Homo-oligomer: A and B are copies of this chain.
Amino acid sequence: MAKQPNVPITEHLAYLLAQANREINRQLELRLSKEGVPVEQWRILKVLSDGDGHSMGELADAVLLNHPTLTKMIDRMVSDALVYRVQDPNDRRKVLMFISDRGKVLCRKLNSLAVDQEEHILESYGDKSTSELKRLLESLIDSSN
């Protein structure tokens, strides 16, 4: 059997992704903390801001949280009057989530903080690299399904 070459951890795609994600997420977190909102809540508000009702399952997929975690986060957001639940009339197992007016106001503020960050990345990292990286990430995600 051939000896495995010992690949340093920094050369693994999984590690590079984790590292990049951690760093970018940390920066975004820092911005959003101005409004005292965790990144996941921004994602939720953003997905719901199309005004349509989204079931919990759909939301969980979209915002990269598993179901129980989402349920508990939504509980908090309902307390803060950012979103509200409506039973789906067509399938009463489902709960449809909607964004409130208060949620919309907050979401706009958060969007602009997030856009700030993207612009900051564009400056230091470059236009070309950024769009190329996005393209490659999308295609990686595609090829993983």
Instruction: Spell out A's residues near B (CB within 8 Å).
Output: 4, 6-9, 11-25, 27-28, 39, 43, 46-47, 49, 62, 64, 108, 111-112, 114-115, 117-118, 121, 124-125, 129-130, 132-134, 136-141, 143-144
Q: Are A137 and B20 in contact (CB under 8 A)?
A: yes
Specify which chain B residues have a CB less than 8 angstroms from the CB of A121 in the assembled complex.
13, 140
Q: How many copies does the complex hold?
A: 2
Say which residue of B4, B9, B132, B134 sits within 8 Å of A16 (CB atoms).
Answer: B134
Chain B contacts of A134 at CB under 8 A? 11, 13, 16
**Of B7, B14, B114, B139, which contacts A14 at CB under 8 A?**
B114
Question: What 10 A-B pairs have minimum CB-CB distances, sorted nearest first?
Answer: A21-B21, A16-B137, A17-B21, A133-B136, A9-B46, A125-B143, A23-B144, A124-B143, A20-B137, A14-B28
